[in-house]
Amino acid sequence: MSTNVPVIDAHPTISEPPKNYLNCSRGFMSWAGTLDHKRIGIMYLIGVSAAFLAGGVFALLVRLHLWEPHGMLFTNETYNQIFTLHGAFMVFIFVIPAIPGSLGNMVLPLMLGAKDVALPRLNLLSFYLWCGGTLLATLAIVLGGFDTGWTFYAPYSLYTDQAVVSIGLGIFLLGFSSIFTGLNFIVTTHKLRAPGLTWFRMPLFVWAIYATAILQVLATPVLGITVLLVAFERLYNIGIFDPRLGGDPVLFEHFFWFYSHPAVYIMVLPAFGIISELVTVHSRKPLFGYKLMAFSALAIAIISFLVWGHHMFTSGQSTFAMFAFSFLTFFVAIPTAIKEFSWVATIWKGSIALNSPMLYTLAFLIIFAIGGLTGVILGALNVDLHLHDTYFVVAHFHYVMMGSIALAFFAGLHHWWPKMFGIMYDETLAKIACALIFIGFNATFIPQFIMGSQGMPRRYATYVPEFEGYHHASTIGAVILGSGVALMVYYLLASLLIRKPAMQNQWGGVTLDWLTPTPPPLENFATPPSVTTEVYDYSTLDYESLRTPVR
């Protein structure tokens, strides 16, 4: 554990700290106009964190309102707007861009041994598109809000008198931000690998970001077209989805889920990548079944294009479609199971450090097991007919989206925080926050599994009284979860003021990202690195770097 490391100050003389990407230039424009992938990563980090906190406040309002069966706080219309805002902010503005935008930008070029991403200007553009999309979404709140749910199902989204066009255009811009990021990472992975860094020597985080990028580029345009069609339909009544004009609302569902199912994997694959990195570094052991892990990331990416119909088992699609989509859905379970088993096998007989990134990783492994297994329950056709659109589904996707993806994001943030800033946060507080988040999260969503299987429908502003006890448990859990997140925000921000120096190689990683100075200089590597060993070979670990503090 890091606290046991005897500190040897290798540079006792006081001198100017070396130039790195943080202190090489100053001023607002040196950040706003930067082409450096690390600075863009930090700007993304600030942006997506703000979106996460906003979405979290909406979530807490939803949970507080549901304390009483007739709804404690809001009118039904306001409640509907708040759960829609929670969903839209969390999905489109936080989860989709969070890991690729912040940690992907920060770490991917470092792991590849590159100076920057292949297309730095496009990288900055995609950040500003993200800002534009977020601005339009926020504008939609000012214009009166939107109450369609984050899924925008037609025809309700066509008839409601709210700011659907503004949020639609916001999502259109966010989509392009995502496409450009994906394009950039594909080119970077193909073109900028260091000499000797063959495909099967790449860290799994790179594989995961690469598989994600393929999905982003291929699936997101469909979402863009769909929201544009909804906007045209509202403005010009063209009659594609509106049954009153001869349109088909189920067509909207097909279009929407053709993107939004792969989007689930756009969100979760980078999380898998982070966890793959962290289990090996903090167990100091090569990743178990590396090749099968890499192929399963690609398999998930490909199969995820063919399962969108499982969101529509109750919508009256043809029996043949139900057959095919259920069959293919079960296939996604296989590469996902392989990943979970391989992570556990990596930890087995490792040298396991129970520091905060690893605690977040262990929390992920437990929560993702539940999230994945309940997905199998929902994949079974007739069981889904009962559970569809109930709190069971809500709990399942929160186990994946919040419990797995957000926790992996936190794990990655704690893991690379010392690399990004050269400073350490308070480890004790970090462990307490992790425990609060883990307990609070499970207390929030386990009651929702039970309620859902008893028939509590989702998106209800009020409910029949027998569910009150479960809603109480869930709301208490949400408050615990919220306090854990608040504590995390506190100690991370405090670490920027306290400035306790981190070690050059805080956790003992052997991938290229840990072999540059900490924090990295402007163009990452003083001399272009070359790779001669297999990936995750801990016999090459330079233990001296674990106790050399950052200057």
Q: Which is nearer to other proteins, 68 or 523 (CB)?
A: 68
Closest to other proteins by CB, 302 vs 369, is 369
* String of contacts with other proteins for each residue 508-547, x by CB under 8 A: ------------------------------xx---x--xx
Q: How far is the CB of 464 from other proteins (least distance, A)?
A: 5
Find the part of the chain contacting other proteins (CB under 8 A) among 97-105, 244-252, 254-262, 429-437.
244-252
Residue 280 Cβ, how far from other proteins at the closest point, in Å?
A: 10
**From 13-21, 40-48, 155-163, 221-229, span contacting other proteins (CB under 8 A):** 155-163
Give the one residue of 239, 341, 486, 528 binding other proteins; rule: CB under 8 A. Answer: 341
Question: Residues in contact with other proteins, total (CB under 8 A)?
Answer: 106
The answer to the question of residue 243 lying near other proteins (CB under 8 A) is: yes
Rounded to whole angstroms, how far apart are CA atoms 50 and 437? 18
DSSP H or E stretch at residue 423 = strand 423-424
Let me know if 18 is exposed, middle or buried by CB neighbors in 10 A (0-12, 13-18, 19+).
exposed
Cis peptide bond upstream of 519, omega within 30: yes
Residue 390 β-bridge partners: 457
- With CA atoms as reference, report the closest residue to 450 among 425, 467, 464: 467
Nearer to other proteins, 239 or 528 (CB): 239
The residue from 20, 34, 80, 226 that contacts other proteins (CB under 8 A) is: 80
Q: Is 71 left (phi over 0), alpha (psi -120 to 50) or beta?
A: left
Q: Does 300 bind other proteins (CB under 8 A)?
A: no
Distance CA 532, CA 534 (A): 7
Say how many C-beta atoms besides its own lie within 10 A of residue 464's C-beta: 10
Under rule CB under 8 A, which residues in 344-383 are in contact with other proteins? 344-345, 347-354, 362, 365-366, 369-370, 373-374, 376-377, 379-383
> Which range, of 50-58, 77-85, 206-214, 398-406, touches other proteins by CB under 8 A?
77-85
CB of 106 to other proteins, least distance (A): 26
Please identify which residue in 17, 120, 455, 501 interacts with other proteins, judged by CB under 8 A. 455
- CA proximity to 135, closest of 167, 106, 182, 164: 167
Is 318 a binding residue for other proteins by CB under 8 A? The answer is no
Min dist. Cβ of residue 124 to other proteins (A): 38
Does 435 contact other proteins by CB under 8 A? no
Q: Tokens for 319, please give them.
A: 């029996």
Amino acid at site 134 = T
Does 389 participate in binding other proteins (rule CB under 8 A)?
A: yes
Instruction: Map the footprint of other proteins across residues 158-217, applying CB under 8 A.
Output: 159-161
Q: Do 438 and 488 contact (CB within 8 A), yes or no?
A: no
The answer to whether 424 touches 502, Cβ cutoff 8 Å, is yes
462 near other proteins, rule: CB under 8 A: yes
How far, in Å, are 164, 166, 325 from residue 88 at the CA level?
A: 12, 13, 26
For 44-68, b where at least 16 C-beta lie within 10 A, e where not — what string? bbebbbebbebbbebbbbbbebbee
Considering the complex, state which of residue 463 and residue 514 has its C-beta at the smaller distance from other proteins. Answer: 463
**What are the residue ranges of helices labelled H in 89-119?**
96-97, 105-112
Per CB under 8 A, 5 contacts other proteins: yes
| Contact between 221 and other proteins per CB under 8 A | no
In angstroms, the Cα distances linking 311 to 104, 221, 317 are 29, 20, 11
Q: Which residue number, 498 or 544, has a Cβ lying nearer to other proteins?
A: 544
Alpha carbon distance 157, 147 (integer Å): 8
If one asks whether residue 289 binds other proteins (CB under 8 A), the answer comes out as yes
Question: What CA–CA distance (Å, rounded) separates 114 from 187?
Answer: 12
For other proteins, give the closer residue by CB, 17 or 69.
Answer: 69
Question: Which residues have C-beta within 8 Å of that of residue 447, sequence separation ≥ 6?
Answer: 470, 471, 473, 474, 477
Which parts of 402-421 interact with other proteins (CB under 8 A)? Answer: none
Selected binder of other proteins within 340, 439, 523, 551 (CB under 8 A): 340
Q: Is 322 in the site for other proteins (CB under 8 A)?
A: yes
Query: What 3-state class would DSSP assign to 150?
Result: coil
Binds other proteins (CB under 8 A): choice among 30, 76, 237, 428: 76
Taking the complex as a whole, how short is the minimal distance between the CB of residue 44 and other proteins, in angstroms?
Answer: 31
- Which 124-153 residues touch other proteins, going by CB under 8 A? 147, 149, 153
In whole angstroms, what is the distance from residue 547 CA to residue 181 CA?
36
Contact string 245-284 vs other proteins (x = CB under 8 A): ---xxx--------------------------------xx
Kindly state the smallest distance separating residue 268's Cβ from other proteins, in Å: 17
Given the complex with other proteins, which of 115 and 284 has the nearer CB atom? Answer: 284
